[in-house]
Amino acid sequence: MNPTDTTDPEHYHRVVDCQWACPAHTDVPEYIRLISQGRYTDAYLLNRESNVFPGILGRVCDRPCEPACRRGRVEEKPVAICRLKRVASDLKGELAGRVPRGPYERNGKRIACVGAGPASLTLANDLAPLGYDVVIFERLGMPGGLMRSNIPSFRLPATVIDDEIGLILDLGVDLRLDSPVASMRELLEKQGFDAVFVGSGAPKGKELDLPGRRDTDRIHIGIDWLESVAFEHIDKIGERVLIIGVGNTAMDCCRTSLRLGAKQVKVMARKPRGFFKASDWELEDAEAENVEIVINRSPKRFVIEGGKLTGMLFEKMEYELKDGKITAERLTGEELIPCDDVILAIGQENAFPWVERDLGIEFDKWSVPKVDAKTFQSTRPEVFFGGDAAFGPKNIIWAVEHGHQAAISVHAFLQGRAVSERPAATVKLNSVKMGMHEWAYKNDYASLERRLVPHVSLKERFKKIDIEVELGFKPEQGAQEAQRCLNCDVQTVFEAKLCIECDACIDICPVDCLTITAAGEEADLRTRLHAPAKVLTQPLYVSKTLKQTGRVMVKDENLCVHCGLCAERCPTAAWDMQKSTIHWPHAGDGEPACHTQRQIA
Amino acid sequence: MSFIAKPTVAHPDLPRNSRGLTRREYEGANSTLCAGCGHDSITAAIVEACWANDVEPRTLVKLSGIGCSSKTTAYFVSGSHGFNSVHGRMPSVATGANAANRQLNYIGVSGDGDTLSIGLGQFIHAIRRNLNMVYIIENNGVYGLTKGQFSASADIGTTAKKGEVNNQAPIDPVQLALTLGASFVARSFSGDKGQLVPLIQAAMHHNGFALIDVLSPCVTFNDHEGSTRSYAYSREHYEEVVHADFVAPAANITVQYGPGECVPVTMHDGSRIVLRKVDADYDPTDRGAALARIRERLRTQEYLTGLLHISTNQPEFHEQNATPEMPLNQIPYATLNPGAATLAKILSRYR
């Protein structure tokens, strides 16, 4: 195994698991540190640089960072990263003067965005300050896309959406509401846009064509139904409701039903637990509201009596499981479950009836556009796709990153550069040594358990549909939770030529992640370490050859708690703790116009 | 030293010994020695050896005198007994404790000053008595606590940090112990745990006085060019002649050695040490030959290391004195103190 190339930005980036896992590469440890210092506005602005919607994402993000969090490997539960983001948003001060404001001097190029969801808004956020005239066309009467129409207001208050979209519109973005786009040709040829970004989401809920489906009006498509509730076209539902599907949309549907008068809500799952698509915390929240999740029931037909939906017939399933996978299934009978309404929440798709097929925009056989996974460019050079419209349903934070990446492409394209040439990520390292045993970060391990977020009581929360259930951390809870962060961005940096092989670092390391041993291949090295290094996705660091014995220093990055004791115990400062600042590129980096946008004080 | 305590969080896959304990549970207080001190590595080796030997912490007695080395008993096995004695007087305390309770495991940690200067008389009498204990000398050639003066183990020609040259001949505890008839004599290096850990394991199972002289660089006052006790110099000038692999009583010897290369030695408790001769001509059971060889190599400043001498048939202190098995504090009071009448009877014999 060759010595690790630490000049490759990827090396130190991967050590910061949360930031590596975040599609938008939010600088999580740094904003958590800002929160612990009470610098909420700074924390908010740092978040905004990468994820654009800290207040929204601090409530409803899919949080890929949390399963990645090292704290979850060292102890049981990861840092409540998402909820800390909300702390920054809830407690932030005045933003005026600290966020960019338009209008900007225009460069003459016009960009159309289809749909005012997170992908389009992010693209507008990145490109408006560079002088582009960005026009967003939105089908509905309010911007936000699914954040507005599909996420119930008891999880995400409308004011939070309004505030964060407001910051983008203040850049001088032209938002046109109630303006569905009927024709791509018209955008390109009649309206003369230089580039078009399609961020229209995946607005088509999947159907369940079983007998009886068309014989009643009490069967609803989940996302359409949620949208109708959000726009107050629907304000009640029957007493007994069945939700088909166990994704996050199903969780929103069942909890919304309870707020519209349902007394008995059942979520019907084809498969057992462990196969549910919904996030654990959304399942938890739904079950806390006494929603029953019925497993191993496969829908067979809707039961209509006298033109009225009276129930639904299910097949009872039984599965054989091996290693968490289904190896066999069989039917064991049928069950009729009475109900007044059924909501279908079994998935959604993107759909482009408004894109003419003779424009040079190619689609595959499932009518999904051919989009480059890196540049988000379609087969027609000036047309780009992002968010759920590009590769099917994902989540908000992915849509944001798509928006950022598409913005880089659109900017390059309109400046006549190749979209394939992407700016590189960079890592800056700065020593945090302040004295003999003093560091510019708090290196002492805080043995605290994950704080629980307070909720509105079950009695209170159903009184109105828009009572936000989660209350968010209070400042002191946020400060405590922030202490659980292991500061993974404060890197252990090793200088082989200084090492005298005294073993001090190895002896003091609380998690046994260091070993000095003979060089070898990775598979072999992993077996010779001080403690087993079984997590293959976590890289080994291998130093250059040590001068006294010709061995190498090996570090298993998996469990390092960044306590800095290796550096404190090192007599020659061969180990140093250095803060890494990972810069993930955005459109217009380094160009004068964006400086105001990127800077935080 | 560090200002924060070593986090209690540990690697979740750390192996457990037969008592269900991990290595972390054999640690002690935070070290206050200089960063990079060889002594801290020896502490880590003792922790590892106690863990591997399945030592029950409460059966361990840690003894020490004065000096950097003598502070280290606080840094391992915090659930054990400890006595930090007067300078150089650790062997007396060890003798007293051992006389009163022979069922505990005694481990003394001392330095070259504590053992070879102020405590030399105590040291040699502990050897003479063949006291059943492990005696570790953390040997760095200087008085670290008083800013780096030469100690009695400093080699001729070695220099102090500011350049003074030592002209006095060193006292070598290994040769001294061999001439005094010590039954387990080893030398090792703090930077070589692969050698040191099994040596400590074997020493803990040896029935009698087990000396391990450990070259342990003083990173602050004796790790410069010109020093013969620096990390770099020690690595260049130490030569392992006999490697001792410790094999617990119940375990089978699974490692395969070539014929003639290894000699299994059975200890009194049924455990074994497999002596792997790195130098085929060296015989660790022949005291005279071993001594001659060590002397000869020291002339060219080569330190032979490993288990340099072992003999398993020398009676230890309690056997010599036919003392009872039972610790004094467990012997019924009436037996322990037969009363004034019996005393008077005994004394009458001398009148």
Contact across the interface for A510 and B219, Cβ inside 8 Å: no
Calculate how close chain B gets to A71, using CA atoms only, in Å. 10
Contact across the interface for B44 and A571, Cβ inside 8 Å: no
Residue B349 lies in a domain: no
Contact across the interface for B193 and A503, Cβ inside 8 Å: yes
Cβ atoms of B185 and B211 closer than 8 Å: yes
Residue B68 lies in a domain: yes
- Judgement on whether residues A150 and A243 belong to the same structural domain of the protein: no
- Predicted pLDDT of residue B266: 85
Q: What's the whole-number mean pLDDT along residues A48-67?
A: 96
Calculate how close chain B gets to A542, using CA atoms only, in Å. 20
**Among A73, A548, A570, beta carbon nearest to B35:** A570
Contact across the interface for B11 and A512, Cβ inside 8 Å: yes
**Among B6, B190, B220, beta carbon nearest to A508:** B6
Which of 65-104 (B) contact A at CB < 8 A? none
Contact across the interface for B9 and A512, Cβ inside 8 Å: no
Tell me the chain A residues in contact with residue B219 when contact means C-beta distances shorter than 8 Å. 500, 502, 571
Please check whether residue A445 touches B, CB under 8 A: yes
Tell me the chain B residues in contact with residue A438 when contact means C-beta distances shorter than 8 Å. 3
- Judgement on whether residues A232 and A311 belong to the same structural domain of the protein: yes
Please check whether residue B7 touches A, CB under 8 A: yes
Q: What's the whole-number mean pLDDT along residues A161-189?
A: 96
Check whether B228 has a pLDDT greater than 80: yes
Cβ atoms of B275 and B150 closer than 8 Å: no
Please check whether residue A260 touches B, CB under 8 A: no
Structure tokens at A204: 């088509």
Distances (CA, A) of B317 to A313, B88, B202, B313: 87, 20, 19, 13
Residue B18 lies in a domain: no
Neighbours of A220 (CB within 10 A): 22
Q: Which of A286, A317, A346 is the last residue of a domain?
A: A346
At A382, is the pLDDT very low, low, confident or very high (cuts 50, 70, 90)?
Answer: very high
Closest C-alpha to B290, from B175, B160, B124, B131: B175
Residue A369 lies in a domain: yes
Residue A257 lies in a domain: yes
Closest C-alpha to B323, from B129, B177, B181: B129
- Predicted pLDDT of residue B257: 54
Q: Which residues of A551-571 are buried (b: 16+ CB within 10 A; e: fewer)?
A: bbbbbbbbbbbbbbbbbbbbb
Residue A155 lies in a domain: yes
Contact across the interface for A500 and B2, Cβ inside 8 Å: no
Q: How many domains does chain A have?
A: 2
Residue A313 lies in a domain: yes
Please check whether residue A527 touches B, CB under 8 A: no
Task: Measure the CA–CA gap between A125 and A139, rounded to whole angstroms.
Answer: 20
pLDDT tens sequence across B98-131: 999 999 999 999 999 999 999 999 999 999 999 9
Range of weakest confidence among A175-184, A368-377, B272-281: B272-281
Cβ atoms of A252 and A351 closer than 8 Å: no
- Predicted pLDDT of residue B283: 87
**Among B9, B35, B191, beta carbon nearest to A571:** B35
Predicted TM-score (pTM) of the model is 0.90
pLDDT tens sequence across A282-324: 999 999 999 999 999 999 999 999 999 999 999 999 999 998 8
Which of 180-209 (B) contact A at CB < 8 A? 190-191, 193
Tell me the chain B residues in contact with residue A560 when contact means C-beta distances shorter than 8 Å. none
Residue A241 lies in a domain: yes
Residue B32 lies in a domain: yes
- Predicted pLDDT of residue B265: 84
- Judgement on whether residues A339 and A359 belong to the same structural domain of the protein: no
Residue A59 lies in a domain: no
Please check whether residue A130 touches B, CB under 8 A: no
Which of B231, B237, B238 should be substituted to probe chain A, the one whose Cβ sees the most A Cβ atoms within 10 Å?
B231
Calculate how close chain A gets to B23, using CA atoms only, in Å. 10
Q: What is the mean pLDDT of chain A?
A: 94
Check whether A114 has a pLDDT greater than 70: yes
- Judgement on whether residues A123 and A244 belong to the same structural domain of the protein: no
- Judgement on whether residues A185 and A216 belong to the same structural domain of the protein: no
**Among A502, A510, A549, beta carbon nearest to B6:** A510
Please check whether residue A208 touches B, CB under 8 A: no
Residue A521 lies in a domain: no
Which of B11, B47, B222 should be substituted to probe chain A, the one whose Cβ sees the most A Cβ atoms within 10 Å?
B11
Cβ pairs bridging A and B (under 8 Å): 106
Q: Which residue has the higher pLDDT, B251 or A223?
A: A223
Check whether B259 has a pLDDT greater than 70: no
Cβ atoms of A297 and A319 closer than 8 Å: no
**Smallest CA–CA distance from A565 into chain B, residue:** B2
- Predicted pLDDT of residue B255: 53
Contact across the interface for A559 and B235, Cβ inside 8 Å: no
Check whether B225 has a pLDDT greater than 50: yes
Check whether B261 has a pLDDT greater than 80: no
- Judgement on whether residues A358 and A314 belong to the same structural domain of the protein: no
- Judgement on whether residues A320 and A364 belong to the same structural domain of the protein: no
Strand A297-305 to A308-322 pairing: antiparallel
- Judgement on whether residues A294 and A379 belong to the same structural domain of the protein: no
Within 8 A by CB and 6+ apart from B274, the residues are B244, B245, B247, B253, B255, B257, B262, B263, B264, B265
Q: What's the whole-number mean pLDDT along residues B263-290?
A: 85
Please check whether residue B9 touches A, CB under 8 A: yes
Calculate how close chain B gets to A561, using CA atoms only, in Å. 9
**Among B6, B36, B43, beta carbon nearest to A565:** B6
Contact across the interface for A568 and B35, Cβ inside 8 Å: yes
Domain that holds residue B94: 23-329
In sequence order, what DSSP letters do the residues of A431-462 get, joined into one string? E-EEETTEESS--S----PPPPPPB--HHHHT
Contact across the interface for A507 and B190, Cβ inside 8 Å: no
Contact across the interface for B35 and A447, Cβ inside 8 Å: no
- Judgement on whether residues A216 and A318 belong to the same structural domain of the protein: yes
- Judgement on whether residues A129 and A247 belong to the same structural domain of the protein: no
Check whether A598 has a pLDDT greater than 50: no
Residue B343 lies in a domain: no
pLDDT tens sequence across A405-460: 999 999 999 999 999 999 999 999 999 999 888 899 999 999 999 999 999 999 99
At A601, is the pLDDT very low, low, confident or very high (cuts 50, 70, 90)?
Answer: very low
- A514, amino acid identity: L
Calculate how close chain B gets to A558, using CA atoms only, in Å. 10
Check whether A161 has a pLDDT greater than 70: yes
Q: Residue B235 sits in a domain of what CATH number?
A: 3.40.50.970
- Predicted pLDDT of residue B300: 84
- Predicted pLDDT of residue B279: 81
Check whether A559 has a pLDDT greater than 70: yes
- Provide the residue count of chain B: 351
Calculate how close chain A gets to B127, using CA atoms only, in Å. 31
pLDDT tens sequence across B151-207: 999 999 999 999 999 999 999 999 999 999 999 999 999 999 999 999 999 999 999
Closest C-alpha to A33, from A42, A24, A25, A23: A42
- Predicted pLDDT of residue A600: 38
Q: Secondary structure of A66-131 in the HEC alphabet?
A: HHHCCHHHHCCCCCCHHHHHHHHHHHCCCCCCCCCCCCCCCCCCEEEEECCCHHHHHHHHHHHHHC
- Predicted pLDDT of residue A435: 86
Q: Residue A264 sits in a domain of what CATH number?
A: 3.50.50.60
Q: How many domains does chain B have?
A: 1
At A1, is the pLDDT very low, low, confident or very high (cuts 50, 70, 90)?
Answer: confident
Which of 40-69 (B) contact A at CB < 8 A? 40-41, 43-44
Please check whether residue A437 touches B, CB under 8 A: yes
Q: Which of A308, A323, A346 is the last residue of a domain?
A: A346
Q: What's the whole-number mean pLDDT along residues B201-215?
A: 96
Please check whether residue A507 touches B, CB under 8 A: yes
| Percent of chain A whose pLDDT exceeds 90 | 93
Please check whether residue B216 touches A, CB under 8 A: no
- Predicted pLDDT of residue B316: 95
Check whether A356 has a pLDDT greater than 90: yes
- Judgement on whether residues A319 and A356 belong to the same structural domain of the protein: no
Contact across the interface for B41 and A503, Cβ inside 8 Å: yes
Residue A6 lies in a domain: no
Contact across the interface for A511 and B43, Cβ inside 8 Å: no
Tell me the chain B residues in contact with residue A74 when contact means C-beta distances shorter than 8 Å. 9, 12
Task: Measure the CA–CA gap between B9 and B11, rounded to whole angstroms.
Answer: 7
Q: What's the whole-number mean pLDDT along residues A216-236?
A: 95
Check whether A592 has a pLDDT greater than 70: no
Domain that holds residue A168: 110-203+350-414
Within 8 A by CB and 6+ apart from A328, the residues are A319, A320
Reported ipTM: the value is 0.91
* Cis geometry, peptide bond prior to residue A338 (ω within 30 degrees of 0): no
- Predicted pLDDT of residue A597: 45
pLDDT tens sequence across A60-100: 999 999 999 999 999 889 999 999 999 999 999 999 999 99
Tell me the chain B residues in contact with residue A565 when contact means C-beta distances shorter than 8 Å. 2, 4, 6
Check whether B147 has a pLDDT greater than 60: yes
- Judgement on whether residues A182 and A231 belong to the same structural domain of the protein: no
